Copies of this chain bind each other. A is one copy, B any other.
Amino acid sequence: MTIFYRDGIVSEQAIAPFDFTDRGLLLGDGVFDTALVLGGRVFRIEAHLDRLFDAARALDIGVAHDEVRRCVATLAARGGRGVLRTNVTRGPGPRGLRPPSTRQPTIFASLAPLSDNVAFASLTLDVAKIRRNESSPTSRFKTLNYLDGVMATAAVAEAGFDEALFLNCSGRVASTATGNLFVTCGGRIVTPPLAEGVLPGIIRAFILAECGGQERPLELAELFSADAVFVTNSVRLVAPVTRIGDTLLASTTDDRVKASRHRLWTAVCDECGISLPLPDGIDGAETIA
């Protein structure tokens, strides 16, 4: 069951009082974070909070950090395990786009159950018709503007694929709708730089820092000829890509993918104080969920 945090209160009720002039709802004027909770602890909690605070700062939303920390700690402790989503909007305001001078950000969060067989499960991708706009703050920060992702996901799902792969407006590889993209090629692990219009993913940062990942702009053709392609996000962790459009990829058997998965899972167990077996079915048959 999903539990909710609003105004210092934890509840199982999704419905609660809300200000219908909130700019988060009316304009998508807000940011959020999604994190994995296991053993009552948020994996990479400081990295998640730093990213959320960076995004709020970039939007000039003056949010009280201690209140966000209290919200996160309260839900993580209550839930034990799940997917934590923490949201900060600019709060209520009068008509118009210009941010109001008074700052009253809205903070709310939820802890949802972990879906079965999501972590480490493989994915199929198709290239979206919508491009990712690398000039927009919505490409670099996790904002409430996710309609491109919704529409692209609905379109590829209809064609039988799991996730949409976004090129940026320059025609190079950016990311998927919900994760960062990596390729392994000639023993290297490569992902596009943030300037290509990608989110600074927490697992992306882990792969760069702990698994020898490197940043370099990527052409779509490089994905088709890669040894492996994988997607990272805080719930899927490391998801090997078995297909992009009509092209099959042997990503599930790639040594670099296996090694990254092992290293990440060890870090998750260490940091969350749990002791679960390494999910050794890289096809997703055995996962934490």
Contacts and interface: CB of A to CB of B under 8 A. Distances in A.
Contact of A153 (B32, B95, B98, B130): B98
A137 B178 CA distance: 18
Interface string A122-149: 0000000111010111100001111111
A231 to B, nearest CB: 13
A269 interface: no
Interface stretch (A22-30, A39-47, A219-227, A247-255): A22-30
Interface string A102-137: 000000101010010000000000000111010111
Contact of A27 (B18, B98, B136, B144): B144
Contact of A150 (B20, B32, B92, B97): B97
A4 interface: yes
Given A28-B146, A146-B29, A169 B138 contact: no
A154 interface: yes
Nearest to A141: B147
Contacts of A99: 150, 154
Interface in A4-29: 4, 6, 14-29
B18 A15 contact: yes
Interface residues of A, number: 58
Given A27-B144, A97-B178, A145-B145, A17 B20 contact: no
A32 B59 CA distance: 23
A61 to B, nearest CB: 11
Nearest to A87: B26
Given A14-B19, A15-B18, A19-B15, A26 B137 contact: no
Nearest to A24: B25
Contacts of A20: 4, 6, 14-16, 18, 108, 110
Nearest to A11: B20
Contacts of A15: 17-20
Interface string A168-199: 01000000011000000000000000000000
Interface of A: 2, 4, 6, 14-29, 32, 59-60, 83, 85, 87, 92, 94-95, 97-99, 108, 110, 112, 115, 129-131, 133, 135-138, 143-151, 153-154, 157, 169, 177-178
